[in-house]
Amino acid sequence: MRILKKLLTMLGTVLLLSFLSFLAFQVIPGDAAQVQLGTNATPEALEALREEMGLTDSVPVRFGRWLAAAAQGDFGNSTRYRMPVTELLARMMPNTLWLAVISLVLIMALALPLGLLCARWEGSLFDRAFTWMNQIFMAVPSFFLGMLISFFLGIGLKLFVPGRAVSWENDPIGCLRYLFFPALAIAIPKAAMTVRFLRNSLIGEKRTDYVRTARGKGMSENRILLTQMLPNALIPVVTFLGVIAAEVLAGSIVVEQVFGVSGLGRLLVVSISNRDYNVVQAIILYIGIAVVFVNLLVDLLYRKLDPRVRDEAE
Amino acid sequence: MKKIMTRMLLLAAILTALTGCSGGTGEKKEEDTSKGGSVVVGITQDLDSLDPHKAVAAGTKEVLYNIFEGLVKPDKDGNLVPAVAESYEVAPDGMTYAFVLRQGVVFHNGKTVTAEDVVYSLKRSAGLLETSDPEVQVVAALSVISTIESSENEDGKEIVTIKLKEPNTELTGYLTCSIIPCDYKEQATKPVGTGPFVFTSYEPMESIVITRNEKYYGDKAHLESVTFSISESSDAAFVELLAGNIDIFPYLTEDQAAQLKGQYTIEIGDMSLVQGLFLNNAAAPFDNLLVRQAMCYAVDRQAILDMLSGGHGSIIGSGMYASFGAYYDASLAQKYPYDTEKAKALLAEAGYKDGFTFTIQVPSNYTYHVSTAQVIADQLRKVGITAKIQQIEWAAWLSDVYSAHNFEATIIGLDSQLAPSDILKYYIAGSPKNFINYAEDETFNATYQEALKTVDAKKKKELYKKLQANLADNAASVFLQSPALLVAVNPKLGGYTFYPVYVQDMASVYYK
């Protein structure tokens, strides 16, 4: 019952989001017909093309039409690329999804051990040095980090060729290898935040009674940290990771641009400037669903991890 | 004796040097062109359509130039040379054009080009087909066509005859419009033309690949294949250049060119554009001739060239550039020399003693125009004018500035077909292309129509010079320059050629 209610709310959120993004295009100047015809446009030609593109109807009619088709899985054609939106998205999807997966794995792989180490030796030189460095990494925006990575690892050390993204269809291994570098640019600032979060959460646990009891019973510090403190400390971290996962799944718009990855983020930017409504609507819908879905997942996971939440609900 | 010996030695030395030289280059030249190979060309704009009649962006046309041809096509000197047509004749009254088609020209799908295809292609571009596709760009200049017919001459060659409603001696300049097969439906996804390269594949946002047309009727391309790789921006392309995975990149900034020296050969050409600070002649304060003239005096064009293109580029003073040869009036470039005192005096006379404030709207995707706006804003400050720069999206520029004329000033580059009437079409009163609302002088329209009809070459040149002088006298806008085109070319490549229109001809490029 609770799940059903949750699903209904999710549906409402996604619908509202779609409508708002549809509306946004009414506010900004320019339309698909204008972009297509460019400087050669005559008023008559523009009118004819608008008619054909179905841009002459009112906003509610057009939104209704889009919604009805989308509900049946028909997202229309891209006006710019002249192919079905689903086909276009299917081409870009693997890049964005793999980028998200690699980024998330990297975030965990970096944040978990570092967070534990910092908390274990709280106040040590390592902890202090790392906390200080963390501040810097958190502050560096991903796109700038991306440029640094391109420059030093790509052009300097020649570990990869910047801008020459490998397509998933031709060469899956090459594609993943290339995506490792943009994923690094996404992961480092987010990992830095997660380390800080995890460290503080762990240190908070250190002062609790159950840890003192465990210590009194002669448990080793390492065991206390891993078996007693970590499961408790992870609860807030999971929420935080959920937010990050949603963000990464939504397509790393800026980083995709820097590394020339043809993913959903880059497609979204291009489609907005081309006023390619169908593509934008479909991507927004995907992002909306991804975010809402991750939230639901976190919610469920939360209950699994924290019995208190579970009891409350029941 | 000794003298003779020395002389003979000298002679021998010279002879070997000479033969060595000529032998070397001769051999090299023969080897040059047959090496084949493939190159990667960086472009920064995704293609807006693969159908040549639907494409509008200059960035698309420069790529499609390799796949498609018209009845005629431009050569590097700005002449129109026969392509799908073998020869043509313009009736002395400028009312009839007759094109003899070249025999044995084959489309990339194997179909032989017939008069039917030519008639279809021309009608499609002129908007004369019965069922029209609204996405097709109707070439306004072709609207003078009344009928297009095909026939056969005594040698059995096909002839396409174009009859006009009114005399026009410049139509050939627009007949570079691509010839496509009449019964082919997949032009927008798998384009088919007659050019030296065949379309192979296209990946949105990634690349377009073309391969050599082995059945091309003329000189075949040297390269086996060319990949146009789409970069997100010129900065991203620059990183790829540094990494060495682009062979040719045509839109470098001066700074980038300087950094690439050594790694690449930098070729310098001309963009063949009228770049200008275009002023809305209907909006205050630019509805005042004195203010527009003051603006012209207040802008230091040479400084713009020096700052943005290392001094390259050619200054213009009216709405035409040097590629138009005999039609172009070079003297107008000096009409408004940089003179802040004169500018201030004109402003005072116009009632703007303390200057004024206005906004330059500039499309943010054209970094060169944005940089130009910044330089100009700085220069105008010296005469008390404050220019605010507002960067807008291309779609917004098209709708607000170009269509709705809702702007004060903008910076853009205007391109053109190889017909002088095409580059001056932006100033005809009442035309939707007249985005600056130029209407200072009624004589412009009349002279323009007269020039179109004039058959006499000398008279025609005079009329076009008169039109340019008209724009300059009335300070229609601040005409700046035809900017330099800085191209990075892999030093192993030869044959990169500049054209007076905006194209990337890959057929002439070869590995040395």
pLDDT tens per residue across span A74-125:
999 998 888 899 999 998 888 889 999 999 999 999 999 998 888 888 888 8
Query: Which residues in B lie closer than 8 A to residue A90 (C-beta atoms)?
Result: none
For residue B202, the cross-strand partners are: B208
Calculate the alpha carbon distances from B59 to A32, B43, B55, B336, B366 in Å: 18, 8, 9, 32, 12
pLDDT of residue A313: 52
Report chain A residues whose CB lies below 8 A from the CB of B406.
none
Report residue A294 as tokens: 């991750």
| Residue B387's CATH number | 3.10.105.10
CA distances from A143 to A250, A260, B334 (A): 16, 12, 45
- Our CA angle for B117, B121, B122, nearest 5°, is 120
Same domain, B318 and B413: yes
Longest distance between any two alpha carbons in chain A, whole Å? 86
Our CA angle for B55, B58, B64, nearest 5°, is 60
- DSSP H helical segments within chain A, as ranges? 2-27, 32-37, 43-53, 59-71, 85-120, 125-139, 142-149, 172-206, 209-216, 221-223, 230-249, 253-259, 264-273, 277-305, 307-313
CB B175 within 8 A of CB B139: no
Residue B25: pLDDT band by 50, 70, 90 thresholds?
very low
**What pLDDT was estimated at residue B224?**
95
Q: How many residues does chain A have?
A: 314
Residues 6+ apart with CB under 8 A from B98: B88, B89, B91, B159, B160, B161, B162
To the nearest whole angstrom, how far is the Cα of A88 from the nearest Cα of chain B? Answer: 8
Q: Are B410 and B360 in contact (CB under 8 A)?
A: yes
When pLDDT is averaged across residues B113-136 and rounded to a whole number, the result is: 90
Examine residue B262 and state whether it is found in any structural domain, yes or no.
no
CATH of the domain at B153: 3.90.76.10
Of the listed ranges A169-178, B383-392, B444-453, the least confidently predicted one is A169-178
Model confidence at B120: pLDDT above 50: yes
pLDDT of res. B8: 45
User: Is residue B99 located within the same domain as residue B216?
Assistant: no
- B36 and B135 in a single domain? The answer is no
Of the candidates B179, B70, B173, the one whose C-alpha atom is nearest the C-alpha of residue B121 is B179
pLDDT digits (tens, 9 = 90+) for B254-286: 889 999 988 999 999 998 899 999 999 999 899
Give the pLDDT score at B372. 96
Whether residues B480 and B504 fall in one domain: no
Whether residue A40 has pLDDT greater than 50: yes
pLDDT of residue B10: 46
Reported as a single tens digit per residue, the pLDDT across B289-298 is 999 999 999 9
Q: Let me know whether B88 and B135 are in one domain.
A: yes
B426/B384 same-domain check? yes
Q: What is the pLDDT of residues B428-476, one digit of tens each?
A: 988 888 999 998 778 999 999 999 888 888 999 999 999 999 999 999 9
Q: Chain B window 227-256: which residues touch A at a Cβ cutoff of 8 Å?
A: 229, 231-233, 236-237, 239-240, 242-243, 245
Among partner residues B137, B240, B396, which is closest to A28 by beta-carbon distance?
B396
Provide the 8-state DSSP code for B446: H
Q: Is a pLDDT exceeding 60 seen at residue B26?
A: no
Residue B420 token pair: 């002088």
DSSP three-state, residue B87: strand
Question: By mean pLDDT, which of B71-80, B129-138, B238-247, B480-489 is the weakest?
Answer: B129-138
Separation CA B501–CA B512 (nearest Å):
26
Q: How far apart are the first and last CA of chain A?
A: 12
Q: Please state, in angstroms and rounded to a whole number, the distance separating the CA atoms of residues A130 and B471.
A: 66
C-alpha to C-alpha distances, B208 to A250, B43, B66, B492, nearest whole angstrom: 28, 10, 12, 22
The answer to whether residues B505 and B469 belong to one domain is no
Closest by Cβ to A163, choosing from B56, B205, B239: B239
pLDDT at A67 over 70: yes
Mean pLDDT of B205-233: 92
Please give the average per-residue pLDDT across A172-183, as a whole number. 90
Is residue A282's pLDDT more than 70? yes
Q: How far apart are CA B459 and CA B467, in angstroms?
A: 12
Cβ of residue B186 closer than 8 Å to a chain A Cβ: no
Among residues B120, B144, B174, the one where a domain terminates is B174
Residues ≥6 apart with Cβ < 8 Å to B492: B511, B512
- Of all residues in chain B, the percent with pLDDT exceeding 70 is 93
CA distances from A63 to A15, A85, A92, A277 (A): 11, 17, 25, 11
pLDDT, mean of residues B303-325: 92
Mean pLDDT on A193-218: 88
Instruction: Assess whether pLDDT exceeds 60 at residue B231.
Output: yes
Max CA separation in chain B (angstroms): 91
Q: Is B89 in the same domain as B144?
A: yes
Angstrom distance (rounded) from CA B193 to CA B108: 6
Average pLDDT, integer, range B475-491:
95
User: Please, are residues A249 and A294 in contact by the beta-carbon 8 Å criterion?
Assistant: yes
Report d(CA B487, CA B213) in Å as an integer. Answer: 25
Q: Are residues B239 and B346 in the same domain?
A: no
Rounded CA-CA distance A52/A56 in Å is 9
Instruction: Report how far apart, in Å, the C-alpha atoms of B71 and of each of B81, B85, B115, B171, B440 are.
Output: 9, 5, 11, 12, 38
User: For the segment B172-205, what is each residue's pLDDT rounded down to a tens digit?
Assistant: 889 999 999 999 989 988 999 999 999 999 988 8
The residue-averaged pLDDT of B351-371 equals: 93
Residue-wise DSSP of A188-254: HHHHHHHHHHHHHHHHHHHTSHHHHHHHHTT--HHHIIIIIIHHHHHHHHHHHHHHHHHHHHT--HH
Tell me, yes or no, whether B116 lies in a domain: yes
B188 contacts in chain A (CB < 8 Å):
82
* pLDDT at residue B22 greater than cutoff 50: no
- Among partner residues B132, B233, B240, which is closest to A162 by beta-carbon distance? B240
Enclosing H/E stretch for B274: strand B274-279
Count of all residues that appear for chain B in the document: 512
Q: Highest-confidence range of A37-41, A138-142, B233-237, by mean pLDDT?
A: A138-142
Q: Quick check: is B470 in a domain?
A: yes
Phi, psi of B499 (to 5 degrees): -120, 155
Instruction: Note whether residue B169 is domain-resident.
Output: yes
Nearest to B214 by CA among B117, B113, B108, B112: B108
Domain with B361, as residue range(s), is 274-484
Q: How confident is the model at residue B327 (pLDDT cuts 50, 70, 90)?
A: very high
* Contact status, residue B96 vs residue B104, Cβ threshold 8 Å: no
Within the 34-93 window of chain A, which residues sit less than 8 Å (CB to CB) from chain B? 34-43, 45-46, 48-49, 51-52, 80-83, 88, 91
Nearest to B225 by CA among B66, B30, B50, B44: B66
What distance in Å separates the CA atoms of residue A41 and residue A17, rounded to the nearest whole number? 33
What's CA A158's distance to the chain center, in Å? 28
Number of A to B CB contacts under 8 A, please give it.
Answer: 125
Q: Which residues in chain A have Cβ-Cβ distances shorter than 8 Å to B48?
A: 36, 38, 80
Share of chain B above pLDDT 90, in %: 64
Contact A260 B232 (CB under 8 A): yes
> What value does the mean pLDDT take over residues A23-28?
85
Residues B32, B88, single domain; the answer is no
Nearest Cα of chain B lies from the Cα of A193 at a distance, in angstroms, of: 28
Structure tokens at A60: 């509610």
Q: Helix, strand, or coil here: B164?
A: strand
Residue B338 in domain: yes
The CA distance from A233 to A304, in Å, is 14
Say if residue B324's pLDDT is above 60. yes
d(CA B392, CA B369): 12
Residue-level pLDDT at A251? 58
CA atoms within 13 A on the CB side of B450: 14
CB hemisphere CA count around B504 (13 angstroms): 29
Is B259 inside a domain boundary? no
In a domain, B264, yes or no: no
CA distances to B124, B125, B139, B290, B493 from B128, in Å: 6, 8, 11, 45, 44
A-chain residues within 8 Å CB-CB of B138?
40, 42, 45
Tell the burial category of B222 from Cβ atoms under 10 Å away from its Cβ (0-12, 13-18, 19+).
buried
Please report whether residue B260 resides in a domain: no
Window 177-236 of A, Cβ < 8 Å to B? none
| CA pair distance B86, B415, nearest whole angstrom | 27
- In the prediction, which pLDDT does A99 show? 92
pLDDT exceeds cutoff 70 at B18 = no
Question: How many domains does the structure of chain B reveal?
Answer: 3
Cβ distance B81 to B73 under 8 Å?
yes
Residue A310 is predicted with a pLDDT of: 65
Whether the per-residue pLDDT at A234 is higher than 60: the answer is yes
| Contact indicator for B199, B192 with CB cutoff of 8 Å | yes
At B207, which CATH number?
3.40.190.10
Q: What mean pLDDT, rounded, does chain B reach?
A: 89
Tell whether B304 and B423 lie within a shared domain: yes
Task: Report how far apart, in Å, the C-alpha atoms of A169 and of each of A53, A99, A166, A180, B203 are.
Answer: 32, 15, 9, 17, 12
| Cα–Cα distance list, B331 to A99, B112, B334, B415 (Å) | 58, 48, 6, 21
What value does the mean pLDDT take over residues B351-370?
A: 93
Gap between the Cα atoms of A167 and A176, Å rounded: 9
Q: B80 and B21, same structural domain? A: no
Closest CA to A24 of A281, A253, A264: A281
- Write the pLDDT tens digit of every residue in A293-305: 888 888 888 877 7
- CA closest to B237 among chain A residues: A163
Q: Which domains, ranges and CATH numbers included, belong to chain A?
A: 2-70 (no CATH), 86-313 (1.10.3720.10)
